[in-house]
Amino acid sequence: MATEALPSGYEPAEVESRWIDYWREHKTFTPDPDGPGDPYCIVIPPPNVTGALHMGHALDITLQDILCRFHRQLGRKVLWVPGTDHAGIATQNVVERALAAEGKTREDLGREKFIERVWEWRAQYGGRIVNQIKRLGASVDWTRERFTMDEGLSRAVREVFVRLFEEGLIYRGDYIINWCPRCQTALADLEVEFAPHASKIYHIRYPVQGTDRFVTVATTRPETMLGDTAVAVHPEDERYTDLIGKSVVLPLVGRVIPVIADAYVEREFGTGCLKVTPAHDMNDFELGRKHGLACISVMDGSGTINDEAPQAYRGLDRLACRQAVLDDLSALGLLEAVKDYEHNVGECYRCKTVIEPFVSKQWFVRAAPLAAVARKAVEDGRTNIYPEQWTKTYYDWLDNIRDWCISRQIWWGHRIPAWTCEDCGELIVARTDPESCPKCAGSRLVRDEDVLDTWFSSALWPFSTLGWPDDTPEVRAFYPTSVLVTGFDILFFWVARMMMMGLHFRDDVPFREVYIHALVRDAEGKKMSKSTGNVIDPLVMVDRYGTDALRFTLTSFAAMGRDIKLSEERIQGYRNFVNKLWNAARFSLMNLGEDIPDVDLAVAAKAGPAHAWILDRLESVKESVSGALSGYRFNEATQELYGFLWHEFCDWYLEMVKVDMASGDEARIAAAKRTLWTALSELLTLLHPIMPFVTQEIWSRLPGVSQPDLALMPFPAARPHLRTEKAAAAMELLRQVVVGVRNIRAELGISPAVKLTAMVKTTTEAETDSLAACEELIRFLARLDRLEVGGEVVAPKASAAAAAGSCALFVPLAGAVDFTSELARLAKEEAKVAKELDMVEKKLHNESFTSRAPAEVVEKEREKSRAAHEKLDRLRELTVRIQGLMEA
């Protein structure tokens, strides 16, 4: 095909949008489930429909895309399923804020109208995160995009709920849960985030019934004492053994409550006496069930004190009640001490309100039997977790799992498919909405108001997105999926739950491997946050430097198990790498022309040492990149490709190939073109999974290409017959000689326009033959008039010397260097540096300056001093060297 020259500069924006459209229009990433190739499947961790792309997303998407593009190259039929999560609490909060701006509440609209409003919001704004993912070049199958509230996924959710209920693994009951008074909903344990709070710990005296004695309890939440139903002590605590079985009088309430013994109590904490409030503390709830204690809730769902408390406190907010209780205790002389106390307090992961343990009727999944199966699947190696260190964390969570509260008191989400018959009280859980009670045939059925936890539907994602519960071609071909790429923060939220659900409903793990990537931090290693002001916006970086530069930067630092320290300067630096590739391609295309000679590569390799070397290196790079990507060593793949493109292909091969192109020898030119085309085309293919846009754009201008879509090109086949240690050794010796001559030029200030003579004293016949074969290249690269090689070489007088491997390199300087002028130049430069150093030293010896100037200013002057000393040393060494040459 006719090729078009590349523009002088790479402009990412236009190129990226054009290829995004091309891939979507041509359905490049839409696989046929019944097509050839082994299946490879990834389901995208669904971002919240309310979300905006952050750097963690950018890393996540980049790594998944690399894997998908790489495995397509390996000939597998790859399905990468995109989608978004309805994000129950987050989305409802967004819409409720919009309503509040209109002076309305969701109750003003009613449930049905409110849900309509949420769907309208989703239609208007829900595609934002999807469009941002597209900008990263994600090779997902957009024809199979899913949403957790899609009709198909909703049917899967309902089927799972009903089946688990029928199996006794879902139940409804009164239990203590995490409750957000602001969001007015239950939260799973994992939806509670703990943050340090500067608080107080209060020591309160409880009178022992019938005596003048007191026991002192310590608490951070004195308002909950209104619901106390016992005081607990350790059975072996000698301070209180005589009180076990007796009673105390609950201050402010007057309720007589028992003193119980339980080894759960920590004797060293506080006073060793624990107030037990089963309705307002998770651990107290378990103690209460164990000892048969009453469970008295003194708050309602908004954190307001209810009628179970004495009249004086009813209607108070929980914090206002705390102060009132403290005031009254102090007045009665029962507040013994108040101490500062810093501890972690649970907060709602959405609105940051302090959560309240709350007893209510909720729906739960019996997690233990499901967790045991999920644990065994990893133990047996059916699913492997990388890095392996996260396996222990996974086990620890499953071993200590509690029943999962799955009901939420909000309106946006999958409504629980449960009805209560008002005539007979029958609970009905059904796959389709019932019209009458199966027990009494009554028609007065009231549906449960709650919706399911968002993570319940997300737990089904690996198979619900493929069409389950139907037996679809996608389910048959692509389940279990191949790998899950995600951050460690949802290892429990999502990964473990997908394992439980996948094994239970598909009798197989949801993915064969889990790759846990690290956090993206700022350049100093701090976590990015808006409050800190150190957030790097991936879309801003894409606008400034292009998607490929951002992707390559993230991949370069994606070492397994290590956090990424990111800065804009690093992204800018890798934009230079993108430009390097572009310019290398421009040069190559200008020299290749329209027709690529059909020269056997083995023949081309024999046509010149440069061709043999670059083809040998190409084979090594292909092997290294394939192994690195297969083993999730993303950073190793980028390091290999960076070094090959910049330091070998550009710095050396493109320079050496100029000699062949200018030779006028048709056979040499044909071999050079074939080798250059092969190196460039395979390099583009290797780089494509990491930098899809710039590689595709160059590929579209490359002559001799039959497949215009680089994303559909196979991984370059191995050519072991092109591997040769001899070529690598010859090139290494050539480079050492050339670099040696260049260093001598630089040190002695010899202009590149001055042609030199170089003499190499070899130690073996093989070295002599190798350098003789490379003579033309060495003379061109080192700008030499003459190259003399052999074991009998003798250095003439006034020669600069350097080592080149085991060989000695000499460059005669007579006529090339004016020693007298050079010494004068060095003396002048030395005087200038000495004067600058003297000024800096005076500052540093001035105590007024060092004691008053900012530390960073003083350190800057010290750095100037160090640099000046180093420069003086180099100038003096060079002066001595030239003086020695003059005497030779």
**Which of 456-465, 596-605, 748-757, 796-805 is predicted with the least confidence, judged by mean pLDDT?**
796-805
Position 736 confidence tier, pLDDT thresholds 50, 70, 90: very high
In a domain, 704, yes or no: yes
Query: What is the layout of strands, in order, in the sheet containing 418-421?
Result: 427-429, 418-421, 445-447
- Please give the mean pLDDT across all residues of the chain: 91
Cα 16 from Cα 697, distance rounded (Å): 9
pLDDT for 888 equals 57
Q: Averaged over 47-60, what is the pLDDT?
A: 90
Q: Is 537 inside any structural domain?
A: no
Same domain for 329 and 203? yes
Q: Same domain for 584 and 670?
A: yes
Confidence bin at 190 (pLDDT 50/70/90)? low
For the domain that residue 627 is a member of, what is the CATH number? 1.10.730.10
Q: Which residue has the higher pLDDT, 324 or 864?
A: 324
Q: Is 438 buried (19+), middle (13-18) or exposed (0-12) by CB count in 10 A?
A: exposed
| Amino acid 774: pLDDT | 94
442 touches 449 (CB < 8 A): no
Residues 710 and 843 placed together within one structural domain of the fold: no
Please report the pLDDT score of residue 2 as a whole number.
Answer: 46
Same domain, residue pair 812 and 831: no
Percent of the chain with pLDDT over 90: 68
End-of-domain residue from the set 762, 797, 817 = 817
Compute the average pLDDT of residues 531-549. 93
Q: Is the pLDDT of residue 879 over 80?
A: no
CA 571, 577, 580, 581 dihedral sign is: negative
- CA–CA separation, 690 vs 637, rounded Å? 9
In a domain, 4, yes or no: no
What is the mean pLDDT of the segment spanning 294-306?
91
Tell me what the mean pLDDT of segment 789-817 comes to. 82
Residues 621 and 699 in one domain: yes
- Residue 392 in any domain: the answer is no
Note the helical H segments in 237-388.
282-291, 318-331, 367-379
Cβ(388)–Cβ(513) under 8 Å?
no
Asked whether residue 218 is assigned to any structural domain, the reply reads yes
* Lowest-confidence region among 88-102, 250-264, 619-633: 88-102
| Amino acid 177: pLDDT | 82
Considering the domain architecture, whether residues 842 and 738 belong to the same structural domain is answered as: no
Q: How confident is the model at residue 1 (pLDDT cuts 50, 70, 90)?
A: very low
pLDDT (mean) for 277-289: 89
The whole-number average pLDDT for the span 633-647 is: 97
Q: Would 511 be classed as within a structural domain?
A: no
Q: How far is CA 123 from CA 119, 120, 127, 296, in A?
A: 6, 5, 7, 45
Contact (Cβ atoms closer than 8 angstroms) between residue 837 and residue 792: no
Is position 531 within any domain? Answer: no
Summarize pLDDT for 696-714 with one digit per residue, the tens: 999 999 999 989 999 999 9
- Phi, psi angle pair for 113, to nearest 5°: -70, -35
What is each CA distance from 846 to 229, 836, 849, 851, in whole angstroms? Answer: 73, 16, 5, 9
Distance CA 257, CA 271 (A): 18
CATH for 871: 1.10.287
CATH number at residue 353: 3.90.740.10
- What are the CB-based long-range contacts (under 8 Å, 24+) for 696-700? 696/19, 697/6, 697/10, 697/15, 697/19, 698/6, 698/581, 698/582, 698/585
Unique residue bearing structure tokens 């999926």 = 481
- Alpha carbons 361 and 226: distance in angstroms, whole number: 22
- Does residue 631 belong to any structural domain of this protein? yes
| 583 compared with 865, residue with greater pLDDT | 583
**Residue 247 in tokens:** 């009673």
734 with 618, same domain: the answer is: no
Same domain for 337 and 245, yes or no, is yes
Planar angle of CA 649, 652, 657, nearest 5 degrees? 85
pLDDT at 126: 86
Helix (H) or strand (E) holding 23: helix 12-25
Same domain for 241 and 201? yes
Predicted confidence band of residue 417 (pLDDT cuts 50, 70, 90): very high
CB 885 within 8 A of CB 823: no
Q: Which of 723, 740, 758 is the endpoint of a domain?
A: 723
Tell me, yes or no, whether 197 and 224 share the same domain.
yes
- Residue 77 is encoded by which pair of tokens? 């039929």
Binding-site sequence positions: 530
Domain of 269, in residue numbers:
185-357
pTM of the model: 0.83
| pLDDT tens-place string over residues 649-687 | 999 999 999 999 999 999 999 999 999 999 999 999 999
Specify the number of domains making up the chain. 4
Residue 183 or residue 705, greater confidence: 705
Q: Coil, strand, or helix at residue 101?
A: helix
Cis bond before residue 480 (omega within 30° of 0): yes
**Is 80 exceeded by the pLDDT of residue 349?**
no
Are residues 841 and 759 located together in one domain of the fold? no
Query: 163: Cβ–Cβ under 8 A, 6 or more apart, which residues?
Result: 505
Claim to verify: residue 826 and residue 772 sit in the same structural domain: no
Which pLDDT tens digit goes with each residue over 541-559? 999 999 999 999 999 999 9
| Residues flagged as binding site for ATP | 530
Cβ pair 833, 868 in contact under 8 A: yes
What is the average per-residue pLDDT within 317-334? 95
Q: Which of 820, 822, 836, 823 has its CA nearest to residue 871?
A: 836
Q: Which of 357, 376, 411 is the last residue of a domain?
A: 357
CA 693 – CA 587 distance, rounded (Å): 19
User: Coil, strand, or helix at residue 847?
Assistant: helix
Instruction: Write the CB contacts of 887 (distance below 8 Å, at least 6 apart in sequence).
Output: none
Block residue for tokens 């008295």: 296
Give the total residue count for the chain. 888
Using CA atoms, how far residue 755 sits from 737, 749, 815, 870, 876, in Å, is: 15, 13, 11, 31, 27
Residue 878, pLDDT > 80, answer: no
